[in-house]
Chains A and B, each alone.
Chain A
Amino acid sequence: MTDPAADPVLQAFEARLAKGEKAEPKDRLPERYRRQLVRMMSQHAHSEIVGMLPEANWITRAPSLRRKIGLLAKVQDEAGHGLYLYSAAETLGVPRDELIDQLLTGKAKYSNIFNYPTLTWADIGMIGWLVDGAAIINQSMLAKCSYGPYVRAMIRICKEESFHMRQGYEMVTALARGTPAQQAMAQEALNRWWPPTLMMFGPPEEQSTNSEELVRWKVKLKSNDELRQTFVDQTVVQAQVLGLRIPDPDLRYDEDTKHWTIGPIDWQEFFAVIGGNGPCNRDRLRARREAHEDGAWVRAAAAAHAAKNPQVNA
C-alpha cells in the first residue's frame, strides 16, 4: 500500500474521512478507493439482478394471489435496487454497459447465495426471511459508509428491503403453522438455506483480502463476523417463535456474551461456489445472457426512435 504521507490526494482524503465527512463523485479520490467502490457497488448491483432469477422462477406457481403480487413486487424491487446501484457506480465514471458486460462475461462476481436452487415454495419464504434478513444487516452498515452515492442508494434500498423480509417471514410462518407436510417443507428449506446464508457475510476477516483497506476507508464499518453474529442472534429467536430448528448441532446460547454461538462454517464450499462450481452458477449466467440478448431489439428500437426524433434527444 502507498504511504499516505507520500501521496497528497490520499492524505487529504483520509483526513476528511477522519473528520467524518463523506466522499462525493467530483472529489479528488484515491484511485484505489474508486476501484474498490466500483468493484463493490457493481458486485452488489449484479447480486440484485441475478437475485431476481431464483424467485422469478416461482412467480407463476405462487399458491395464492396475495403471494403472487407480493413476490412480483419484490422481484421488481430487486430490478430497481440493481439500477440504483449501477447508477451509484456510474458516478465513478464507469458506464453501466461496461459493468453489465463484466457480469455477462463472468468477470464480475455476484452474491454466492444466488447460485443455490429454489426447489420448493418454502425456499421463496427462506430467501425473504433469511437472505433478505442478512442483506438488511449488511446494507444498514453500508448506508453509513463513506461514499455519498452508495449511502443514498443504500438508504433507499433498506427502506424497501424490510417489506421483503416481512413477506418472507409471513410465508414461512404460514408453512410452520400449517399441515405436517408444510412444516416439514419449511424445515427442509431452512436446513438447506441456513449454511449458505451464514456465508453471505464472507469469511472471517483474516481470510478476506479486501477488508483492511475497506475498513480504513470506512466502506466497511463492521467485521464480517460481527455482522454474521447480529444475523444469528436475530434469526435464532425468529426460528424459535415458529418452532423451526436451526440446523446446527453446535448452536448454543452463551450466557457470558449474551450471543448465540454457531458451529464451524464450510468455507471450502463457499470458495468452490465462488469459483463457479455451485449448483446453479451456469444456469444463472445463461439466463442473464439470454435476457440481455432477448432485449437487444428493444434497445435497438429505442435508439432508432430517438435518431428519428432528434429534438427530444439529450
Chain B
Amino acid sequence: MSGAAASGEGPVWEVFVQEKAGDPHKHAGSVHAHDAEMALQHARDVYARRGQVASMWVVPHAAISASMPADNASFFDPADDKIYRLPAHYLSPASDRRR
C-alpha cells in the first residue's frame, strides 16, 4: 500500500467537468479516493452540487504528465516563428494594394 493510501484518504484524483454537452471538459479540482468509483462519487458531491454538469471525468493525478513552465521557451518556441501557420501571413486581393 502506498504512503497516501496508508493515511486512509487514498491518492489524489483530478476532476474534469463538462457543464453542458458540446463543451470541453474543464479541470475543476481534485478529490482523494481509493478507487475510480469512489473518486467519481466524491467528485459529484464536491464539484456538482448545483445542476450545471453534463459529464465528469476523474483521472489519477499520478497518470498526468505535464510540461514544465521553466522549459516553456525551448519546448513551445518552435510554434512561435511559424507565422505561415497564421491566416494573416497570406495575402488577399485587397492586400495587394498595400504592396
Contacts and interface: CB of A to CB of B under 8 A. Distances in A.
25 contacts: A24-B69, A27-B69, A76-B49, A80-B46, A83-B29, A90-B12, A97-B7, A97-B8, A152-B29, A153-B29, A156-B28, A156-B29, A160-B49, A160-B50, A302-B10, A303-B6, A303-B34, A305-B34, A305-B35, A306-B5, A306-B10, A306-B34, A312-B36, A313-B35, A314-B62
A206 to B, nearest CB: 36
Contacts, number: 78
A305 B31 CA distance: 18
Interface residues of A, number: 32
Interface in B16-47: 28-39, 45-47
B26 to A, nearest CB: 10
Nearest to A307: B1
Given A76-B49, A80-B45, A96 B34 contact: no
B31 to A, nearest CB: 7
A100 to B, nearest CB: 9
Interface of A: 24, 26-28, 73, 76-77, 80, 83-84, 87-88, 90, 95-97, 152-153, 156, 160, 296, 299-300, 302-303, 305-307, 309, 312-314
Given A80-B49, A84-B46, A314-B60, A303 B69 contact: no
Nearest to B63: A314
B4 interface: yes
Nearest to A98: B7
Question: In the complex, which of the residues A76, A87, A97, A153 has the most CB atoms of chain B within 10 Å of its own CB atom?
Answer: A87
